[in-house]
Structure formats: structure tokens, C-alpha cells
Amino acid sequence: MFSIGALAKRTGVKIPTIRYYEQMGLIAPLERTEGNQRRYGRPELEQLGFIKHARDLGFSIDAILGLIALQDHPDRTCVEATEIARAQLADVRAKIAKLTALEGELNRLAQGCNGNGIAGECYVLAALADHQRCEADH
């Protein structure tokens, strides 16, 4: 059996996060000992490892709840899990596309100025100001 501190150490998940996961229903709440402490076993350790890995992959709490529900019913088809994973992949790809566009814009700004001028004539500052003017016009 593990205390919440030992569980946190073994999984790398912070204590407040473990409590949050309990509140969100990702981990079943446990009965408290006479000393008013929760004791976690191997199932909770494995469940927390599952949750941590899913969170590291960017899955939302709702998606993880869905995955846990499927995990709790091993006789069901895995099509829902695949759909959840594909939706997460699409989200990651959209974020990558946004980051790639951001990288291009930042590269353009950084390459547009050699840093040897004065702030009043700085390409970076002028480009940012011009963008702000365009946004205000719309």
C-alpha cells in the first residue's frame, strides 16, 4: 500500500494533481484509514500511470474518462478508443500547423532586422505595429 506521497513519487504526478484526478473521477476515491489517510494499492498505481501517459500525450480529462470507461469493459470494441486517439492526433496536427506558421512569422521578423539599428527604425517593432493596425481596422 502507498501513501499519496509515495504514489506521487512513484508516478511523478504531484499530490494536488492526484487529488484533482480523484475529484474528476479518474481515480476512484478510497476509504481513509483510522489516521485519516488514503492508502493506494497496485491498481491505483497502474491507473495513475495510465492517466499520466494519456495526459503526456495531450488527451483531455473527458477523453481519458472515455478511455477508462472502455478499459473497464474489455469485452467492448476498441473503435471508440481508436476514434479518441485519432481525434487527439488531428488536434496535435492542427497545433503543429499553427506552430509551423508561427515559426515562419517569427523567422521573418528575426531575419528582417540585423539588430544594429535604432528602436525607432526597428523592423521587428514596425512589423508588430503594422500587424496591430491591420487587426484594429478589421
Burial readout 29-42 (b: 16 or more C-beta within 10 A, e: otherwise): eeeeeeeeebbbee
CATH dotted code for 1-76: 1.10.1660.10
Residue 115 confidence (pLDDT)? 72
Task: Give me the DSSP letters along 111-138.
Answer: HT--S-S-GGG-HHHHHHHHHHHHHHH-
48: Cβ contacts below 8 Å, ≥ 6 apart: 7, 11, 13, 18, 21, 27
Residue 101 confidence (pLDDT)? 96
Residue 21 confidence (pLDDT)? 94
Residue 16 confidence (pLDDT)? 96
Mean pLDDT by 10 residues, the chain (138 residues): 91 95 87 80 93 96 94 89 96 97 91 76 84 60
**pTM strictly above 0.85:** no
Q: Provide φ and ψ at 117, rounded to 5°.
A: -90, -165
Tell whether the torsion through CA atoms of 95, 79, 53 and 63 is positive or negative.
positive
